[in-house]
Structure 1
Amino acid sequence: MRKGKAALLLTSWKIARAYWFSEEKWSAWRLLLTVISLNLGIVYILVLINTWQVNFYEVIQSHDYGGFMEAIGKYSILAGCLVVVRGYQIYSRMLLHIRWRRWMTERYLSDWLYNKTYYLLQLSPDHDTDNPDQRISEDIELFVWLTLRLSLDLLQDLVTVLSFIMILWNLSGIVTFSVGGYLISIYGYLVWVAILYAGFGTYWTVKTGRPLVKLDFDLQRYEADFRFSLMRLRENAESIALYGGEKQETWSFGQGFSKVVATYQNIMVVRKHITWLTSAYTQISAIFASIAAAPRYFSSQIHLGQMFQIVDAYNHVQTGFSFVVDSFTRLAQWRAVVNRLNNFLISMEMVRSQSPKASKLDISRKIFSTYSAKNLQVLLPDGSNLIKDFSLSIKPSEKLLIMGASGCGKSTLLRTFAGIWPYASGTIIVPEGQKVMFVPQKSYLSFSSLREILFYPEIVKGDNDKKIQEILVMCKLPHLVDKLHKVADWGQTLSLGEQQRVAFARVLLQRPSWLFLDEATSALDEETEQAIYQMIVDKMTNTAIVSVGHRSTLMKYHQMKIELNGAGNWAVKKISR
């Protein structure tokens, strides 16, 4: 158990320390010290209020109206100061929260996108990260909030205990009783009573609530899986509608949501038991201090003001000792969040560091006149050969067509050319300073304006709407010329054929020197396909084009073809006219 707790604390520190020793460390530490100072200020004011109670109840007991009004005035000042300090404390804590979250979000996004880690995570069968988007959008927020809340609450509780325990010790006096003829004296008995009471509550809270850690972890995962399945339905609405798959989808959603319901019901049971325990603990503690202090009051060892001071001090000490009791649900949630974020970090590190069964692909940019591949070995994730000993030099303005049966590795060869397929070895030489563009079968269309989509991934510059509109017409998209500035989910709004024509409009606008097309016209009819290819060939005479396709009609737009047989072998042939 101790080893597990130590490992958890080390893991949480590993996640947190990156921010506290980052380029923002000085402002972060200054803000943290401000929050801590305000917390200490709150405790100090509470000590003053505790001391004030002695005088307040004394003037009431002696019917001193003047003293009563003076005490009210003092309390008003103390209460006003407490309100102001608490306001600044909340503001400072929230400011630290959002700065820390912003930094962590930027860091995790950068790591996720670095060297196409997001893509490698999908390819890796061994990674232990579900729903990376939720790790970044939700778990970082929870980690920052819970870490600040728990650590600052713990610090404030410790300071509160140390501040009030001396008051309680001094007011406790000495309790003496006889056991077997021996007199036993207990100093500060109210302190020991508070410690025993808090220890009892902590033990039973931990024992009762231990299952919450795993249950909260599972609930987060099931919720994310259910939300992802709903998103998949929206993204594939047309295909599902054509298949008439509503019944199957309903069953699938029901299966996913049933896990959410079952886990939530288990959490309900555990939290019901914890609520019973903590509620009883709190209610008993409200009167427990009075019962504990009663012997001294009724034996006239303390007066009424001191009686109320004891009750207030006892409640503060007992609350400080009861950190685990009051925060157990948050502690369980925090532990689950730390585990999820740690798994995410480990998975990203693993997919970046793990070498596939073949050696790594060497990609270099040189001042070369050709886009070259040397001694490529392209494998499947299980280590079997897909393409063996592949070497090729693509000259400027050259047009090549890659053909072969489905599953023979055509698209994977293009992924290797792009440097994103991790199960490959050999050398790729990319001409330095020249634009390379890869166009997949289904191009990515972000949720933004059509104008921004056409320049993706570049940032839109200048006012060239007229040129863009001319290119849209050339790509048989005249109905989109007046929608350049419309923001929409174009991936859902446009048909697959329209999306492919938008991709070619993007090509004409960005004019790469090396263009790789992965069945980029598969959704177009032959007449439109030929018109698009002819336009690309005519308008981009200096661009080298490498196409993956099945239709023999594409041959007339290419000079050479590469045939793959799926067994690792390949051949380059000249296309006869």
Structure 2
Amino acid sequence: MQAQISRDQPITNSYSALTQFWENIKALTEPYWYPTKAGGRAFSAVIRSWGMLITLILLIIGLVSLNVFTNFLYRYLVDITITGRDVSKFFDTVLIYSVALIFVTAFVGFSKFVRKQISLDWYQWLNNHILAKYLYGRAYYKINFKSDIDNPDQRLSQEIEPVINNALTFVTTFLEKILEIIAYIVIIWTISHQVAIILVIYTVIGNVVAVYLTQHLNNINQEELQSKADYNYCLTHVRVHAESVAFFRGEKQESNIIGKRFTKLVKNVQRRIDWERNQDIFNRGYQAVIEIFPFLILGPLYITNQLGFGEISQASLCAYLFANSLAELINEFGVSGRFSIYVERLSEFSSALEEVAKEPTNVSTIKTVEENHLTFENVTLQTPNYEQVIVEDLSLSVQPGEGLLIVGPSGRGKSSLLRAIAGLWNAGTGRLVRPPLEEVLFLPQRPYIILGTLREQLLYPNTNLQLTDAQLKEVLQKVNLQNVLNRVEGFDTEVPWENILSLGEQQRLAFARLLITHPSFTILDEATSALDLTNEGHLYQQLQETKTTFISVGHRESLFQYHQWVLELSENSTWQLVTVEDYQKQKQIVNNPPPENVPITINNLPKETTVITNIITGFSHKEMQTLTDYSLGTIRSRASQGKSITTKDGVTYRYNKDPKVLKWLRV
């Protein structure tokens, strides 16, 4: 929030706020005007920007000089008109005055043109600069976990241009009006010291009042900016979730939500209007006093023939122009309050993007190594804020061509494991070996539909691939999407695909991307949840034919037949890795338990041998944990991998995976 300056606030706080504002300005302007980092702006571009800025400053100085020159011409013209009889001198003066005004007009036009050109170039560069930060290191994803950064899309689209426009307008207006005020004060001083001194004192008092009014407007403007962002986000939310709102018939509730935010916005706008009214009254009254008092002081001097009429007219005109320049300067300080808010929000956003893109320090992270296989080595995965452990001490390896199915109750971290593979989450410990992300294709439950043509949809994310229409039609045929072409004019038609394609069709479109890109590894997060079993089976068969290594997250029992291994995530961050056959047998035992008090027996001796039935005595995972120094996750991992464990008393045990046993037995 912007620091609020009031009578009760210590001066040090005001100084601190001013210092912070200056630091924010430097952070946004230095990379453009003083690039010091490698890979910054080209030297030729910097020289061009400085050239335009110097040109703008010279135009402003020239404009003020011309205004002063025309002011003296005005005085001379008045004297000739009142006292002179020389008509030729009168017309010569009028001609010079007219030429000077033409130059003034030209200087005004060119100065505004150069200022707008600088503004456009600076805006284009700053937008690309912030956008590059937004997309670098997946900052656009990580920024969502920073609760203090609201509406990043609005900060990008609506708050960069005002920073540039207000900055240039303020600087050029400040320079021009200060030069004009100094020039008019000097002119008035040559006519009357008394008038000049009174104007200076009056200016100081007026500025104190103006700063007081401006500070309140700054706070109101900041609240209005926030309320506009909230209102805009609310409308965007309804548009994005229009179908869900329609299904629930939630128009009344949405109207109430939108109405509350709009009411808050209107209240802030009304507060601003009230304060701007006070400011406008002050500005006009302040200007009116300056306009009238030269007559009160200089009028008697003219009556007593101590000053000429031309001097009186010039002093009055200078006082009027002084008042106008001062009013514009005060108004610019008022507008700069909104400018300071934009600067603060944009600087905060830029710093947050840099922060989230950096690799965390002094925290434990999962070490990632790129190789042509996927292996978790004693990985403990946590949420990005390190507040919750998702899975503990996970060790497994997915061999090329195999399929791994991740199952477990909702909220147990199935999708989080996929985020870890993608490098989105890395909070925790252990070592993750994965292929380069360029060789991995992710298929989420709700596929990402880009803004583009059907061709671009199919080729995404490798839009530089060159496939003929016939090849694309063949792919659509394989995923049963051939009818999509009947709804549009061709592959290069751009329409709102999210509204045209159902969720099931979008999931089939995602599989079409898979068949086009031929990735080495595929990650599917309930990627067939909206499909019937026939379409699901057809797509998984297509997937198996690509010989890709794939990992699926899902709940359907139909998925078991397409995978070789099952990773089950359970409560307390525990897990087990078993074959599909073993997992299905476990579930059968759970769903159909044996009668109580009936011992579990093994009868696997050769037929030639007498059958001996023994009662199996063994230990569960938790019982083994009390006998060893291993964590529960490690015990489950060694059980799934068929490894033995030696207890504290020196006895070695091995886990029996027989569905009728499932115990740690003494070797």
Same fold (TM over 0.5): yes
- Paired-residue identity, %: 28
CA distance, structure 1, for counterparts of residue 260 and residue 326 of structure 2: 44
Asked if structure 1 preserves the Cα contact closer than 8 Å seen for 2:525 and 2:554, the reply is yes
CA distance, structure 1, for counterparts of residue 535 and residue 221 of structure 2: 54
State yes or no: 1:351 paired with 2:356. Answer: yes
CA distance, structure 2, for counterparts of residue 483 and residue 497 of structure 1: 21
Q: Once the two structures are superposed, what CA deviation does each residue of 1:114-167 show, in whole Å capped at 9, x if it has no partner?
A: 11112112123xx42111111111111111011111111111122223333322
Displacement of 1:537? 1.2
Query: Partner of 2:247 in structure 1?
Result: 242
Query: Partner of 1:391 in structure 2?
Result: 395
Displacement of 1:323? 5.4
SS at the partner of 2:449? coil
CA distance, structure 1, for counterparts of residue 237 and residue 479 of structure 2: 30
SS at the partner of 1:447? coil
Q: Once the two structures are superposed, what CA deviation does each residue of 1:2-39 show, in whole Å capped at 9, x if it has no partner?
A: 33223322322222222112314222211111111111
Q: Cα 1:152–1:287, aligned 2, differ >3 Å: closer, same or farther?
A: same
Asked if structure 1 preserves the Cα contact closer than 8 Å seen for 2:199 and 2:290, the reply is no
CA distance, structure 1, for counterparts of residue 359 and residue 220 of structure 2: 32
SS at the partner of 1:487? coil
Q: Cα 1:521–1:359, aligned 2, differ >3 Å: closer, same or farther?
A: same
Asked if structure 2 preserves the Cα contact closer than 8 Å seen for 1:500 and 1:520, the reply is yes
Letter of the 2:67 partner, please give it: L
Letter of the 1:28 partner, please give it: S
SS at the partner of 2:573? coil
Asked if structure 2 preserves the Cα contact closer than 8 Å seen for 1:219 and 1:263, the reply is yes
Query: Partner of 2:131 in structure 1?
Result: 109
Letter of the 2:513 partner, please give it: R
Q: Once the two structures are superposed, what CA deviation does each residue of 1:365-412 show, in whole Å capped at 9, x if it has no partner?
A: 3xx331233232111345221101123332322211111111111000
Displacement of 1:299? 2.9
SS at the partner of 1:561? strand
Query: Partner of 1:55 in structure 2?
Result: 76
Displacement of 1:109? 0.8
Query: Partner of 1:513 in structure 2?
Result: 520
Query: Partner of 1:208 in structure 2?
Result: 213
CA distance, structure 2, for counterparts of residue 385 and residue 474 of structure 1: 41
State yes or no: 1:3 paired with 2:26. Answer: no
Provide the aligned C-alpha RMSD in A: 2.1
CA distance, structure 1, for counterparts of residue 211 and residue 403 of structure 2: 69
State yes or no: 1:309 paired with 2:321. Answer: no
CA distance, structure 1, for counterparts of residue 425 and residue 436 of structure 2: 21
CA distance, structure 2, for counterparts of residue 394 and residue 234 of structure 1: 41
Q: Which runs of 5+ in 1 are unaligned?
A: 173-187
TM-score by structure 1 length? 0.92
Query: Partner of 2:63 in structure 1?
Result: 42
Larger Rg: 2
Q: Once the two structures are superposed, what CA deviation does each residue of 1:81-128 show, in whole Å capped at 9, x if it has no partner?
A: 11112111111111100111111111111111211112112123xx42
Q: Cα 1:463–1:520, aligned 2, differ >3 Å: closer, same or farther?
A: closer
Displacement of 1:249? 0.8
CA distance, structure 2, for counterparts of residue 544 and residue 225 of structure 1: 44
Q: Once the two structures are superposed, what CA deviation does each residue of 1:226-264 show, in whole Å capped at 9, x if it has no partner?
A: 111111111111111111211211111111111101111
Letter of the 2:109 partner, please give it: G
State yes or no: 1:75 paired with 2:88. Answer: no
Query: Partner of 1:98 in structure 2?
Result: 120
Asked if structure 1 preserves the Cα contact closer than 8 Å seen for 2:174 and 2:329, the reply is no
CA distance, structure 2, for counterparts of residue 290 and residue 396 of structure 1: 95
Q: Once the two structures are superposed, what CA deviation does each residue of 1:310-347 show, in whole Å capped at 9, x if it has no partner?
A: 22333344444455522243122112112211221333
Displacement of 1:451? 1.0
Q: Of the candidates 121, 131, 142, which is equivalent to residue 162 of structure 2?
A: 142
Q: Of the candidates 421, 424, 429, which is equivalent to residue 425 of structure 2?
A: 421
Asked if structure 2 preserves the Cα contact closer than 8 Å seen for 1:223 and 1:260, the reply is yes
Displacement of 1:461? 4.0
Query: Partner of 1:411 in structure 2?
Result: 415
Q: Cα 1:361–1:315, aligned 2, differ >3 Å: closer, same or farther?
A: farther
State yes or no: 1:32 paired with 2:53. Answer: yes
Letter of the 1:100 partner, please give it: W
SS at the partner of 1:57? helix
State yes or no: 1:494 paired with 2:494. Answer: no
Q: Cα 1:137–1:352, aligned 2, differ >3 Å: closer, same or farther?
A: same
State yes or no: 1:284 paired with 2:304. Answer: no
Q: Once the two structures are superposed, what CA deviation does each residue of 1:188-238 show, in whole Å capped at 9, x if it has no partner?
A: 222212212222222222223322112111111111111111111111111
State yes or no: 1:122 paired with 2:144. Answer: yes
Displacement of 1:480? 1.7
Q: Once the two structures are superposed, what CA deviation does each residue of 1:403-450 show, in whole Å capped at 9, x if it has no partner?
A: 111111100000001000143333333335961111111111122111
Q: Of the candidates 566, 572, 580, which is equivalent to residue 567 of structure 1?
A: 572
SS at the partner of 1:373? strand
SS at the partner of 2:578? strand
Query: Partner of 1:163 in structure 2?
Result: 183
Q: Cα 1:463–1:74, aligned 2, differ >3 Å: closer, same or farther?
A: farther
Q: Cα 1:486–1:34, aligned 2, differ >3 Å: closer, same or farther?
A: same
State yes or no: 1:16 paired with 2:36. Answer: no
SS at the partner of 1:137? helix
Q: Of the candidates 525, 530, 536, which is equivalent to residue 523 of structure 1?
A: 530
Aligned pairs for 1:226-237 within 5 A: 226-237=231-242
Asked if structure 2 preserves the Cα contact closer than 8 Å seen for 1:443 and 1:503, the reply is yes
State yes or no: 1:473 paired with 2:477. Answer: yes
Q: Cα 1:295–1:493, aligned 2, differ >3 Å: closer, same or farther?
A: farther
CA distance, structure 2, for counterparts of residue 95 and residue 167 of structure 1: 34
CA distance, structure 2, for counterparts of residue 116 and residue 313 of structure 1: 58
Letter of the 2:252 partner, please give it: K
TM-score by structure 2 length? 0.80
Query: Partner of 2:625 in structure 1?
Result: none
Q: Cα 1:119–1:292, aligned 2, differ >3 Å: closer, same or farther?
A: farther
Asked if structure 2 preserves the Cα contact closer than 8 Å seen for 1:147 and 1:334, the reply is yes
CA distance, structure 1, for counterparts of residue 319 and residue 223 of structure 2: 39
Asked if structure 2 preserves the Cα contact closer than 8 Å seen for 1:128 and 1:347, the reply is no
Deviates more, 1:482-491 or 1:140-149: 482-491
RCO higher in 1 or 2 (8 Å CA, sep ≥ 6)?
1
Q: Of the candidates 454, 462, 465, which is equivalent to residue 466 of structure 2?
A: 462
Q: Cα 1:290–1:21, aligned 2, differ >3 Å: closer, same or farther?
A: same
SS at the partner of 1:211? helix
Asked if structure 1 preserves the Cα contact closer than 8 Å seen for 2:391 and 2:574, the reply is yes
Asked if structure 2 preserves the Cα contact closer than 8 Å seen for 1:157 and 1:319, the reply is no
Asked if structure 2 preserves the Cα contact closer than 8 Å seen for 1:396 and 1:544, the reply is yes
CA distance, structure 2, for counterparts of residue 359 and residue 299 of structure 1: 89
Query: Partner of 1:337 in structure 2?
Result: 342
